[in-house]
Amino acid sequence: IETMETHSFDVLVLGSGGAGLRAAVEAASGGGLSVAVIGKSLLGKAHTVMAEGGAAASIGNVDSLDSWQTHFYDTMKSGHYINNFRTVEVFAKEAAARVLELEQWGAVFDRTPEGLIMQRAFGGHSFRRLAHIGDRTGMELLRTLQYKAISMDISIFQEVTITRLLMDKDRIAGAFGYYRADGHFVVFKAKAVVLATGGWGKVYKVTSNSWESTGDGAAMAYRIGAELQDMEMVQFHPTGMVWPPGVAGLLVTEGVRGEGGILYNSEKERFMLRYDPERQELSTRDVVARSIFKEVQAGRGTPHGGAWLDISHKGADFIKRKLPGMYEQLLTLGDVDITKSPFEVAPTCHYTMGGVKAHAETCATNIPGLFAAGEVACGLHGANRLGGNSLADILVFGRRAGIAARDFAGSRKGEVSIPESQIEEEVTRVLEPFNRPNGENPYTIHEELQAVMSTHAGIVRDQQTLEEGLEKVLKLQERAKNMGAQGGRAYNPGWHAVFDVENMLTLSELIIRGALERKESRGAHWRTDYPDELEEMGKWNFVHEYSPDGDRIKQVPVPTMPPALQEICARPVAPGREASDKPNQRKGASS
Ligand code: FAD
């Protein structure tokens, strides 16, 4: 038996993306508590780095009428009112301060001529609201947080995969994992844990998500009894590349439409004028994705089953300045020059709105000591996330989870104790695949799962397809029990894939079960057998609870908005606002 590497921290943050780093910075500030961050990739390379378009915050630099109230309304409306209103309220009120704080920490935003943070238009936002850095916003956000974190007393563990959350009776007590390089095991004891492990877009075949997005955190939390909510809500971003194959799934940022890009069908018709005459290309993602899908179904798709997106009319200088990453990526990886011609796009799985149910103010889950923030958490986005709201989400709720974890750890009495049996069980479990060198190949199971999910629980759904999909996922789960790994623990991605696939199978089942329960169409969830949004259904969130006998789904009432917030939704755009409503801001150097 190997000697187990063991560490003890007051606060353990799982995930080194934007939410995790923001939480760690907050947990460590004030001093006195030990804090660690764990990521399964290298620091600075988390999925957040891919974010392009910007972070939504009602700073009002470009459109001075913008306000937290309008941001609140836009987010509730886009979420089709199954969001937790209090989460949205906290978010809309704090997003601006978090973006301005990031600027103070060194983030180099694009600027207005006056030297303020520049803000761009995005689908579903009533005002130009997205603070951005060209189309590399996530990279700059993560760089800033990374520099901040490494200047503080925070322990950072890179390329460590956590496979299990550990418990001290009913309270969280830490996590078990392995180093990806050599496979040696590690135990982290902790008084409080922040879950910031991101989403699970890798469940689908065509996705904009990075390799890390396998939903480990949500699946692990579910297994220890955390409640998961709105799992049926998966966002398909309307504009993923479809051709050439080398760039299939790659995201074409909404910034392209925000900067004037236009969608056409094969008949050169600007079809969004028909589907949403008011907002056209800047309609919400669910509407644009469905519109492209309908055009293709009606035989007006592009040669490879998508729509044409064209921004070439804006001219090469403008495109290279406003969308440099997009221009370079598509030219280098796909030989597509967006300054010269239109290109083919179609919906790609982009974001998971569902996740671990988190308290609106503290991000607390129903497991004492476990907090959830960022894409792994649920409550903010409802049935459809607005572009730009995720980067703001990870800042607002990363910070809040950090504060709450710090407070919880600080007041937790006594030593954290983890029964040896939990660790022994997990060691046995993670070594088991080596007993089956000729077992099922995890990559094959993953590929089959992606095909099932894309066909049976993708952008269009109905009872029969979902039921068939569920049956297939359950069969894959059975086969997955026999997944094997060859070789040893060092540098063995095949072995790592076993755990990723187990997690994705768990969450896929919940996506389908949630989708079967929601007998209506709402936001990203489109059922052809229930094409309308139903008032009665809008009163409920579906919450999943683990039980050894299978998933239990509870129908939980959507919290009712107090009159003041209802009033905002009735009259969203205020005629003006007091100067004192405006967050403090300073002029920065232009970039
Ligand atoms: P992530 O950034 O996904 O970080 C998760 C972390 O958890 C990683 O460090 C990972 O290594 C770690 N982790 C996962 N599992 C384990 C495990 N088992 N053990 C240890 N560590 C683990 N949003 C916007 O608001 N605006 C945009 O313009 C925008 N553009 C986007 C463009 C693209 C191409 C994509 C894919 C997304 C975009 N998004 C955008 C969405 C946004 O980037 C993400 O939702 C957000 O960054 C998620 O941050 P996070 O911190 O919650 O998780």
For 548-590, what is each residue's pLDDT tens digit?
Answer: 999 999 999 999 999 999 999 987 665 444 433 343 343 332 2
**Is 257 among the catalytic positions?**
yes
Q: Among 371, 375, 381, which residue has the most ligand 1 atoms within 8 Å of its CB, making it the best to mutate? A: 375
Residues 6+ apart with CB under 8 A from 59: 66, 96, 99, 100, 116, 117, 119, 129, 131, 583, 585
* Size (the chain), residues: 591
Active-site residue 496, yes or no? no
Q: 138 CB under 6 A from ligand 1?
A: yes
Counting from 1 in the atom list of ligand 1, the atom nearest the Cα of 210 is: 36
Cis peptide leading into residue 244 (ω within 30°): yes
Looking at residue 123, its pLDDT comes to 87
Residue 423 beta carbon below 6 angstroms from any ligand 1 atom:
no
Query: Strand, helix or coil at 297?
Result: helix
Phi, psi (rounded to 5 degrees) for 293 = -55, -45
Q: Which pLDDT value is given to residue 586?
A: 36
Q: Is the ipTM of this complex over 0.90?
A: yes
118: left (phi over 0), alpha (psi -120 to 50) or beta: beta
> What does the DSSP 8-state code read for residue 203?
G
The predicted structure's pLDDT at residue 582: 40
User: Distance, CA 49 to ligand 1 centroid (Å)?
Assistant: 7
In three state form, how does the secondary structure of 254-282 look?
A: HHHHHCCCEEECCCCCCCHHHHCCCCHHH
Q: Is the CB of 355 under 6 A from ligand 1?
A: no
Residues 6+ apart with CB under 8 A from 373: 19, 20, 22, 23, 194, 195, 196, 358, 363, 394, 397, 398, 400, 401
Residue 572, number of CB atoms within 10 A of its CB:
17
SS3 37: strand
| Closest C-alpha to ligand 1, atom 14 | 197
Spans in the chain with pLDDT lower than 50: 1, 575-591
**Contacts for 269 with CB less than 8 Å, ≥ 6 apart:** 300
Cα-to-centroid distance, 135 and ligand 1 (Å): 16
Query: What CA–CA distance (Å, rounded) separates 472 from 460?
Result: 17
Residues 376 and 196 sit within 8 Å (Cβ to Cβ): yes
CB 399 within 8 A of CB 29: no
* C-beta 54 within 6 A of ligand 1: yes
- Exposure letters 70-105 (e unless 16+ CB within 10 A, then b): bbbbbbbbbbbbbbbbbbbbbbbbbbbbbbbbbbee
What separation in Å is there between the alpha carbon of 515 and the centre of ligand 1?
A: 24
Task: Identify any residues that bridge with 56 across adjacent strands, giving them in sequence order.
Answer: 130
Q: Residue 181 has what pLDDT?
A: 97
Q: What is the pLDDT of residue 413?
A: 84
Residue from 237, 461, 518, 525 carrying the catalytic annotation: 237
The type of residue at 539 is K
Q: Is 346 in the pocket of ligand 1 (CB under 6 A)?
A: no
Q: Atom 32, ligand 1: which residue's CA is nearest? A: 51
224 C-alpha to ligand 1 centroid (Å) = 23
Contact 382, 396 (CB under 8 A): no
90: its two tokens: 């906290």
Distance from residue 518's CA to the centre of ligand 1 (Å): 27
* Ligand 1 contact via 391 beta carbon (within 6 Å): yes
Q: For ligand 1, say whether the CB of 389 is within 6 Å of any of its atoms.
A: yes
Q: Among 12, 41, 47, say which to mutate for ligand 1: greatest number of ligand atoms within 8 Å of CB.
A: 47
Which pLDDT tens digit goes with each residue over 160-175?
Answer: 999 999 999 999 999 9
Report the candidate in 27, 97, 152 with the shortest Cα–Cα distance to residue 403.
27
Interval between CA 138 and ligand 1 midpoint (Å): 9
Distance (Å) from CA 47 to ligand 1 centroid: 4
Q: Is the CB–ligand 1 distance for residue 162 below 6 Å?
A: yes
- CA 321 to centroid of ligand 1, rounded, Å: 25
Whole-model pTM: value is 0.93
| Predicted pLDDT at 583 | 38
Pocket flag, ligand 1, residue 16 (CB < 6 Å): yes
375 CB near ligand 1 (under 6 Å): yes
Q: What is the pLDDT of residue 569?
A: 92
Bridge partner list, 156: 37
**Any atom of ligand 1 within 6 Å of the Cβ of 198:** yes
